[in-house]
Structure 1
Amino acid sequence: MRNIFLVFMLSIALMACKQGDLESTYIPRSLVEGEDFNAFSKTKDEVLTIVDSDSSNREKGNLVTVKFRDTTVFIKNKQSLLSTAFSQAKFLNSQKTAVLVQAEKKLSQAPFYIIALNNGKVEIIDLAISSKGKDDYKFANGIEALSLSSFVLNNDYLIKTVNGKVYPIKRQNPEERIHGKFFMFSNDKSTLVFVTANSLYQVNYFTGETFNLPISPKMFNQKEVIYSQIQQNFSWKKNAKGTLFLKHNPDEDRIVDIKEFKH
């Protein structure tokens, strides 16, 4: 009987230790301008892993968790909402020391975070920017791929997975998300063009320079019409600082190779 009691107590102790090692909750911080997420691990186990969740709730879809060594990462935001699993996760570098995750949807919120290792410790970076624009949710399109190694996030960030760089995209109005659809970028891939209700809003994510080109709303009825109009009437031109922006052609007869625009 005594042996059974000792085994029982030992089992409880082991379970307690195991539970204590299984999870850790972190509070997100803001993104620091110019920082990157391309850290190299000092040891083989100093990496993050993406693990399929064993959740049986099929309505939530396929969820994943992120672990550092044997510890699962939980995130608690400013509203005290706890994220224990994520609807998607994407490594931001080949070293697997930074992961972009989207929180499981709760109360109509599905924010994005970066889980990153900094000197062997886990940090959480909040990628939410305050926004008060009407219908802003319509332009929170999540991840929109530009190439195999870069994408736009919610019209607010350009992220490169080659070097783990995150560039905030300057808004037309600081109080609201860019109310447009990403359309193209310049041939040096640094100026992004968004189609809004009545203009082509252009922003260079390196310099923060912007240029808004008013366009007739009739031009935006069909995507093929937009490409055709741009091919015939617009071209990329450098400003005084050497930054490329799409502008009207002085010569309306000039035909621009469509390859200059498509990505």
Structure 2
Amino acid sequence: MKNSLLAFLAVLTFISCKQGPLEKTLTPRVLAAEGQFNGIPKSKSEILTIVDPDSNGKDAGKRVAIKFRDTTITIEKTKGNKLDKFADAMFINSQKTAVLVQTTVEPLFYIINIDKGTVEVVDINRPSGKSGDRQFLPGMEALTRTSFVINNDYIVTAVNGSVHPIKRQNPEDRIRGQFFAYSKDKKTLVFLTDSALYQVCYITDETFTQPLTRKVENMYNEVQQNYTWVTNQRGTSFLKKNADDNRIVDISEFKH
């Protein structure tokens, strides 16, 4: 009887040693409006960690994974299509309870967040194009050292975990232009499109489109010499063409 018990315990030990790494698969929810991801952990262990899953292989340092305690977080947006390794990741709050991750194939982004002790995934990829296909993915561009424009669709602030949607020219299509400049208060964003400067205040959703009379090779110099920031009655700044072409603007106030 004693030998049988010892054998049984040995089998259990062997099985436990053979168990693979812990993994939790989550289906992302869509961020419909602005969001705050600034949860306070209840304990020191209730945080997320960014790890190198390939630290001992040929891909060491190239990809990252996200863990909650000992469990790797996996994203499954469509059945059978799982994401457990990412091209990059960064914390978007000081408590380390929210991480912005970027996929390896395309610059698509998700937020892995701890909400009241439960891990969730938030999808911040808005469909573009009449068929819903992904079009024009510029990826992440820095607004400041702690604020980032994500695919011309969101502003993410990596201090307090705030995420603001950017109003599109056409609700069905991503802004098809280059993030070009911002106002002094950093609330109005300017996108250089084929024929205009599309501008949007992501705080108030006010927009203004300044047609371009011409496009030159160095648009920064063109704007510096011929455009000025004008503040409306609500205190929102937009970049407008000078009535007096001899007036020169200090581009350092808004150059991206």
The TM-score, its normalising length taken from structure 2, stands at 0.89
* Counterpart position of 2:146: 149
Tell whether the 8 Å contact from 1:191 to 1:205 is kept in structure 2 after alignment: yes
More helix by share: 1
Tell whether the 8 Å contact from 2:127 to 2:134 is kept in structure 1 after alignment: no
Change (3 A) 1:60 1:208: farther
Q: Considering only aligned residues, what root-mean-square deviation do their CA atoms show, in Å? A: 2.5
Summarize the alignment of residues 37-52 of structure 1 with structure 2, pairs less than 5 Å apart.
Answer: 37-52=37-52
Structure 1 alignment gaps of length 5 or more: none
Deviations 1:79-107 (A, max 9, x none): 541111111111101110000012332xx
* Counterpart position of 2:233: 240
Summarize the alignment of residues 55-74 of structure 1 with structure 2, pairs less than 5 Å apart.
Answer: 58=58, 62-74=62-74
Report deviation, 1:217.
4.5
Q: SS of 1:218's equivalent? A: coil
Q: SS of 1:228's equivalent? A: helix
Alpha-carbon distance between aligned partners in 1 of 2:80 and 2:154, rounded to the nearest angstrom: 24
Is 1:206 the counterpart of 2:199? The answer is no
Fraction of identical pairs, as percent: 48
Deviations 1:83-136 (A, max 9, x none): 11111111101110000012332xxx55311000001110100111111169x8
Q: SS of 2:36's equivalent? A: coil
Tell me which amino acid in the other structure corresponds to 1:83. Answer: L
The TM-score, its normalising length taken from structure 1, stands at 0.87
Alpha-carbon distance between aligned partners in 2 of 1:130 and 1:60, rounded to the nearest angstrom: 33
Alpha-carbon distance between aligned partners in 1 of 2:250 and 2:104, rounded to the nearest angstrom: 43
Tell me which amino acid in the other structure corresponds to 2:11. Answer: M
Among 210, 232, 251, the residue aligned to 2:244? 251
Alpha-carbon distance between aligned partners in 2 of 1:128 and 1:189, rounded to the nearest angstrom: 23
Structure 2 alignment gaps of length 5 or more: none
* Counterpart position of 2:171: 174
**Structure 1 residue runs of 4 or more that deviate by more than 6 Å after TM superposition:** none
Alpha-carbon distance between aligned partners in 1 of 2:62 and 2:120, rounded to the nearest angstrom: 24
Summarize the alignment of residues 103-118 of structure 1 with structure 2, pairs less than 5 Å apart.
Answer: 103-105=103-105, 109=106, 111-118=108-115
* Counterpart position of 2:83: 83
